[in-house]
Structure 1
Amino acid sequence: MAPEEITDQLPVPSSHRMLQELVRAELNTDEFTLDISAGSNKGDNYSCIIYRGRATCRRTGKQVSVIVKIPPQNEIRRKQFFVRPSFEREISVYNEIFPLIMEFQRSKGLTVEDSFHQVPHYLGSSLVDHEEVLLMRDLKEEGFRMVDRHKDMSLEHYQLMMRALARLHATSFVLKDQQPEKMERFKGMPDLLGLPDTSPTMASIFSQMAARAMTLLNENNEPDVFQRTKKILTMSWDEIMDDVYNGKPAEPFAVIGHGDSWHNNLLYKYEDDTAIDIRLLDWQCCRYTSPVVDLMYFIFIASSKAFRDRHYEHLLDFYHRNLSDHIRRLGSDPERLFPRTALDQQLLRFGRAGLIMAAICLPIIAT
Structure 2
Amino acid sequence: MQVRQSKQDLLKKITEEHEFDDFVVTERDGDGSSIMSSLSYVTFRARGKTDMKLFAKTAAWSEKLRQNSPIIPYPFTIELYFYRTLWKQYEKLEDICNVPKENRFLKPTFYGSSDEYLNETVVIQDLIAHGYEEYERNTPADFEYMSAGIALIAQFHALSLAYSQYDPEGFIQANEYLTYDESKLVVWIGSMSPKMLANAFSSAEKYRDKLEKYFKTPEKLVQLIMDCYRRGNDKVLVHGDFKPSNLMHRRRNGKLELCVIDFQNVHDADAVADIMYFIFTATDESFRRAHYYELLDLYYEELKASLLRLRVDPELVYPENIYRSRLEKCAMLGLAIGVACLPTVLVDKENAPDLDKDPHSVAVEGSALFKERFNGILNSYVEWGLL
Smaller-chain TM-score bracket: 0.7 to 0.9
Q: Which residue number in structure 2 is paired with residue 135 of structure 1?
A: 123
Matching residue within 9, 27, 44 for 1:17: 9
For 1:148, the equivalent position in structure 2 comes to 136
Structure-1 separation of matches of 2:296 and 2:225: 24
Distance in 2 (CA, whole Å) between partners of 1:212 and 1:282 is: 28
Partner of 1:113: 102
How far apart, in 1, do the equivalents of 2:296 and 2:217 lie?
A: 23
Distance 1:223 1:311, change over 3 A: same
Between Structure 1 and Structure 2, how many residues are aligned?
Answer: 346
Q: What does residue range 254-333 of structure 1 map to in structure 2 within 5 Å?
A: 254-271=235-252, 276-333=256-313
Cα deviations by residue, 1:232-254 (Å, 9 ceiling, x for unpaired): 853374x5665321122xx3x34
Match of 2:366 in 1: none
CA displacement at 1:216 relative to structure 2: 4.2
User: Does the 8 A contact of 2:221 with 2:336 survive in 1?
Assistant: no
What's 1:185 paired with? Answer: 173
Amino acid at match of 1:152: P
1:176–1:183 Cα contact (<8 Å) kept: yes
Shift in Å, 1:214:
3.3
Structure 1 stretches of 5 or more lacking a match? 1-6
Mapped partners of 1:106, 1:40: distance in 2: 38
Q: Which amino acid aligns with 1:329?
A: R
Which residue identity does 2:256 align to in structure 1? I
Instruction: Give how far 1:342 is off.
Output: 2.1
2:190, 2:218 within 8 Å by CA — same for their partners in 1? no
Indicate how the Cα distance of structure 1 residues 206 and 194 shifts in structure 2: closer, same or farther if over 3 A, else same.
Answer: farther
Distance 2:205 2:288 in 1: 22
Distance 1:90-1:113 versus aligned 2 partners, 3 A rule: same
* TM-score, length-scaled by structure 2: 0.80
Specify the alignment match of 1:97 in structure 2. Answer: 86
Partner SS for 1:69: strand
Q: 2:220 aligns with which of 231, 235, 257?
A: 235
> What whole-Å deviation, never above 9, does each CA across 1:77-99 have from its counterpart, x for those lacking one?
77788897111111111122111
Kept after mapping to 2: 8 A contact 1:47/1:82: no
CA deviation profile, 1:64-113 (whole Å, cap 9, x unmatched): 11111112376677778889711111111112211111111211122332
Q: Which has the higher contact order (CA 8 A, sep 6+)?
A: 2
Query: Relative to structure 1, is the Cα distance of residues 45 and 82 closer, same or farther in structure 2, using a 3 angstrom cutoff?
Result: farther
Q: Calculate the TM-score normalised by the size of structure 1.
A: 0.84
TM-aligned CA deviation for residue 206 of structure 1: 3.2
Q: CA RMSD in A?
A: 2.9
- The question of 1:54 aligning with 2:43 is answered yes
1:213 and 2:200 correspond? yes
Matched, 1:352 2:335: no
